A = this chain, B = another copy of it.
């Protein structure tokens, strides 16, 4: 039976450990946080007593005393999308293990403004900020780099800030080339976020990549073959219906998210058309449901992106890790919704 210097119902405090180990609380504090200059024998004894008493430092007290919040802020334009939830899950996972809290906020214009301005009251509560799909560009990144608060950007490649992103142009090219190789000549693309006040580089880059692959094959992308699908199922459905209503509909469509592709699949069913036979579809993400509907798609390891982002933030706070860009691999997964044109 472990000794219980206080009532069995109360959590052990640092004083309990200090008393039991016959040292001061300062030494306990140092020993438990691996500070240098603690005699090895002392440290061993403290560790043992702490373990015996099942001592865990009160995080409110240690944060108050140290002035470190151990809290990371995360800003994203859309919190409810599958993509963002996955990223957040990855971030949360790593942060929780490091005993950091996560403060999530929407990247509305006000929050962005505060970020770029380096609003002290905003920063004082957090040790660092992770930006998910918040369009910065090099100009904004330069300002961010000037702040006292460490920033990690997810979804965009930046020079002056630690960032992790996929090569969107390449992903779109993968999709386009696949369809071109199958023999398609009339290709269309569905993006989104054109209406959002928060600028978004993702659809822009993907469209550029898609376009460049078409051009390389001597093909054109007419304006009526580009639609805004709002990155939602419903948006993808509407976009596909628009294509189908065209005098000369495309034979293949690239949708910049799997969710939009589900909407397109829905539209095809409504029109009595067979995906991969009458019209080919390629998505982007490899969402959990994609495999079951046979969707050909460009896979990106979303949760991994979140995990890596969190780790980079932790490294930065530890003083490790230089500012650099971390590219993430993209893979084309061929399934049943893409096939040769009729």
Contact = CB atoms under 8 A, between A and B. Distances in A.
Interface of A: 8-11, 54, 56, 58-61, 63-64, 69, 80, 85, 89, 96, 101, 104, 120-121, 124-125, 233, 237, 259, 262-263, 265-266, 269, 288-289, 291-294
A121 B11 contact: yes
Given A120-B9, A291-B233, A294-B269, A60 B64 contact: yes
A85 B92 CA distance: 13
Contacts of A11: 120-121, 124-125
Contacts of A56: 121
**In terms of DSSP, what is the predominant structure of the interface of chain A?**
helix
Contact of A289 (B59, B89, B262, B291): B262
Nearest to A54: B121
Nearest to A232: B288
Contact of A60 (B8, B9, B63, B289): B63
Contacts of A63: 60
B262 A293 contact: yes
Given A69-B60, A121-B11, A266 B237 contact: no
Given A56-B121, A85-B85, A101-B101, 19 more contacts: A11-B125, A60-B60, A60-B63, A60-B64, A60-B69, A61-B64, A80-B89, A233-B288, A233-B289, A233-B291, A233-B292, A237-B292, A262-B289, A262-B293, A265-B292, A266-B291, A266-B292, A266-B294, A293-B293
Leading 9 A-B pairs by shortest Cβ distance: A266-B292, A60-B64, A262-B292, A60-B63, A11-B124, A9-B120, A60-B60, A289-B289, A233-B292
A131 to B, nearest CB: 19
A56 B89 CA distance: 28
Contact of A10 (B59, B96, B120): B120
A307 B124 CA distance: 30
Nearest to A263: B292
Contacts of A237: 292
Contacts of A10: 120, 124
Contacts of A104: 96
A61 B125 CA distance: 13
Nearest to A62: B60
Contacts of A89: 80, 85
A101 B10 CA distance: 21
Nearest to A92: B104
Contacts of A291: 233, 266
A120 B8 contact: yes
Nearest to A267: B292
A233 B85 CA distance: 19
A319 B273 CA distance: 59
A120 B53 CA distance: 12
Contacts of A9: 120
A189 to B, nearest CB: 20
